[in-house]
Amino acid sequence: MSSVLGRWKRPLRKGKLFRALLGYPGYVRDMYKYTRMDDAEQIRFADTYPCLLDKTAKTRVDSHYFYQHLWAFKKIHSLNPKLHVDVGSNVNFVGMLSAITEVHFVDIRPLNVSNVENLKSIKGSILDLPYENNSLESISCLHVAEHIGLGRYGDPLDPLGTKKAATELSRCLAKGGNLFLSLPVGKPKVCFNAHRIHSPKQILDYFSGLKLVELSGTDDNKRFIERIAIDILENARYACGMFWFTKIGDQST
């Protein structure tokens, strides 16, 4: 009984209380109508599962995640690394990458999947990655660094979390290697304990030991712009900056 009641309460916990409340009468009406149709299956109350927020005119999309995954995947695919290391990004993105190259997924919360070819899950922290200096030819870290040090995912509190993560990613990147990083950018602030918003110039400063190859991103209007002007992102409220860095020459961290 508790599980079915939890499913009935679930729409109320998704941040759209008024719309969810309006949806319950329609749900009951549709269920009654369905049970009166020819060939309808028997429906037990224990099996009911109200989904009240999905009747939308368009398919919902998170512009940050959709465009960052497409952007990074195309870059990585074209570069064709022998090994790609992802640090804490979206697991669907990581799974797709494993179809084109060997992937290590590093996170403080290991990925619990099995029998996925080319995918290895490693428990580890972005502040202490289990790799030698200058050892990784290809790294991604998408919509992760802005969370570090805020405790949201069980990590220790640290106001310098994002900066320290940048130092550690730079340390591991090989000379000539490629780092693909994305995170919210705009006018700096911390939204405790969800995320930080950094200015693009802050991020360039954090990765001062690397060379910026490309800056792309989505603006406040959710438009993806390849090779975006930095001023658009500097003045944004909640844009997504997509940074492609490389380590050149005799630079080391």
State residue 15's pLDDT score: 72
State residue 13's pLDDT score: 84
Q: What percent of the chain has pLDDT over 70?
A: 98
Residues 13 and 86 in one domain: no
Q: Which domain holds residue 77?
A: 63-246
145, 88, 152: which is closest to 121 by C-alpha? 88
Q: Is 252 among the domain residues?
A: no
Instruction: Give the N- to C-terminal CA distance of the chain in Å, as an integer.
Output: 56
Structural contact between residues 36 and 43, judged by C-beta atoms closer than 8 angstroms? no
Residue 250: pLDDT band (50, 70, 90) is: low
Report pTM: 0.91
Structural contact between residues 244 and 212, judged by C-beta atoms closer than 8 angstroms? yes
State residue 2's pLDDT score: 74
Residues 152 and 28 in one domain: no
Q: Is 56 among the domain residues?
A: no
State residue 236's pLDDT score: 98
State residue 16's pLDDT score: 81
Residue 181: pLDDT band (50, 70, 90) is: very high
Residues 6+ apart with CB under 8 A from 37: none
Structural contact between residues 220 and 240, judged by C-beta atoms closer than 8 angstroms? no
Residues 67 and 36 in one domain: no
Residues 14 and 97 in one domain: no
Report pLDDT digits (tens) over 182-207: 999 999 999 999 999 999 999 999 99
- Paired tokens of 86: 């992802």
Q: Is 242 among the domain residues?
A: yes
Asked whether residue 111 carries a pLDDT value surpassing 50, the answer given is yes
Q: Is 23 among the domain residues?
A: yes
Give the residue carrying structure tokens 């952007």: 71
Q: What is the DSSP string of 25-42?
A: HHHHHHHHHHHTSTTPPP
Residues 82 and 21 in one domain: no
CB atoms within 10 A of CB 201: 13
Residues 24 and 87 in one domain: no
Alpha-carbon distance of 25 to 201, in angstroms, equals: 51
State residue 253's pLDDT score: 44
Structural contact between residues 142 and 219, judged by C-beta atoms closer than 8 angstroms? no
Which residues on adjacent β-strands are paired with residue 195? 191
Residue 252: pLDDT band (50, 70, 90) is: very low
Number of domains in the chain: 2
Residues 42 and 77 in one domain: no
Residues 134 and 213 in one domain: yes
Residues 141 and 21 in one domain: no
Residue 1: pLDDT band (50, 70, 90) is: low
Residues 85 and 7 in one domain: no
Alpha-carbon distance of 135 to 247, in angstroms, equals: 11
Residues 6+ apart with CB under 8 A from 220: 186, 236, 237, 238, 239
Residues 159 and 188 in one domain: yes
Residues 22 and 130 in one domain: no
Q: Is 251 among the domain residues?
A: no
Residue 86: pLDDT band (50, 70, 90) is: very high
Q: What CATH number is attached to the domain comprising 163?
A: 3.40.50.150
Report pLDDT digits (tens) over 222-249: 999 999 999 999 999 999 999 999 998 7
